[in-house]
Structure 1
Amino acid sequence: MVLDGLGKLVDGRLDTGDLARLDTDGFVHLAGRAKDLIIRGGHNIDPVVIEDVLLAHPHVTGAGAVGCPDPHAGEVPVAYVTLVPEVVAYVTLVPEVEVSEDELCQWAAEHVPEPAAAPKSVTVLAALPVTDVGKPCKLALRADATRRAVAEALAGHGHDTHVDAAIEDGSVLLSLTPGTGDREAVSAVLDQYALRWTWSRPTPGPVMS
C-alpha cells in the first residue's frame, strides 16, 4: 500500500497538523492541533495549558481556550467554561457570590505557567459547542470571541454597528449591520484586525476586508 500525502509530505514525512512529543521509550503522545495554537505577539501558546488550569478549578466541568483577534498582539487567549449545575444556578441568582467570570480569569492568570498564557477573559456557557460527531468545536468559540472583540472595539469608538459571526470555509466571517456611524470610520476600526468581514444586506454592495 502506498500512502498518498495529498501535498502534505514534508521531507518524506506526513504533515498531519498534530502536535506531539516523543518520550524516552519512543512512544508518541498527541497534545493537540497546530491550528489551535494561540500566537500572541509571535509567542506560541498551547490552549491545553489554559484549559487544564481552568479544569483544575473545583467549579469548572469543561473548558476551551482560543485565540481572540487583537490589534496589537495579533491575538490574545480567551477561555470558555461550563460550571457544575449547582454553581450555575447559584451564580444566576446571586452573581456577586461564589464564582464569577472575573474570578475564573484571575484563577487562570495565577496558575498558568507563563504570563502570556493568561486569558484576557473567561466566559461561562451552558454548554461548550461540539461538532456533529461530538468533538469540541474550537472554530465556533473563535467565532464568538471574534464577534465579542470587534463589537467591543466598535462600541469603544462610539459606533452602534451590530456584529454577527459565522463559520464559512473553515474560517470566521463577520457580518456588520450598519448603525448610525460613519462607514469609513467603522472600516478604519476593522482594518486594525486581520479579519474577513462584509456589510450585511440591504446595504448596497459588500465591502470586504
Structure 2
Amino acid sequence: MIGRILPKRLGGDESGATLTEFAFVAPILCLMVMGIFDMAHTQYTRALINGSMQKAGRDLTLESAGSQEANIDARVIAQIKTVAPNNATVTLEKLSHFDFADIGEEEEYSDDNGDGICNNNEPFVDANGNGQWDADRGETGVGGARDAVLYTAVVKYDRLFPMYGLAGMSQDVELRASTVLRNQPYDQQDRTVVTGNCS
C-alpha cells in the first residue's frame, strides 16, 4: 500500500523545482553578467587609452617636446595603468614619416620581375635609412622638424573574469590606440634620400 502512495506523492511534490530551474539558468546568467562587466571594462580602458594618446599627441607637437618625450611617455603609461589590470603591459611605438601621406605606406621599389615582392636585387628607396626594405617606411622615433609621427600605445592583459572560455573568447586582451601628429617647424626637414637593393 505504501508503495502505491509514495510515487503519487513524489509526482505531485514541486518543492525544490525552483532550485532545479535556477541550476539551469545560473551559468547563463553568470556568463551574461561577467560578459557585460568585461565589455564595459574593455571599452572604458579603450576610451582612456585614446584620451591619453590625444593628450600626448598635443604635448609632443610642442617645440620643447624633445626634452620631455620620456616624461610624456611615463604619463601615458601611468594613466593607462590606473584602469588596466596589474599584469598589463604597455608598449609605446613611434614611427616618424616625411609626410602624412607616407603613414602606413611601404618603401618604394622597382618591381623589375613583376612578382609584387621586393627581391632579386631590385632597387628601393630606403626612406627610414635602416638598410633594408620595409613594408612601413616609418623611422623609429619622433623624427625631426615637420615630420608626421604615428604614435601608438599597445596594451595587453589577461581578461578580468574567468568565464571567457564559455563565450568562446580568448584569455588575452590587446587594445591599440594611435594618434598622428606633425612636429613643429623649428628647423628644416631632412630631405636626404638613400637607395638600396632588395635581397
TM-score normalised by length of structure 1: 0.25
Higher relative contact order (CA 8 A, sep 6+): 2
Larger Rg, first or second structure (1 or 2): 2
* Structure number with higher strand proportion: 1
- Tell me the TM-score normalized by structure 2: 0.26
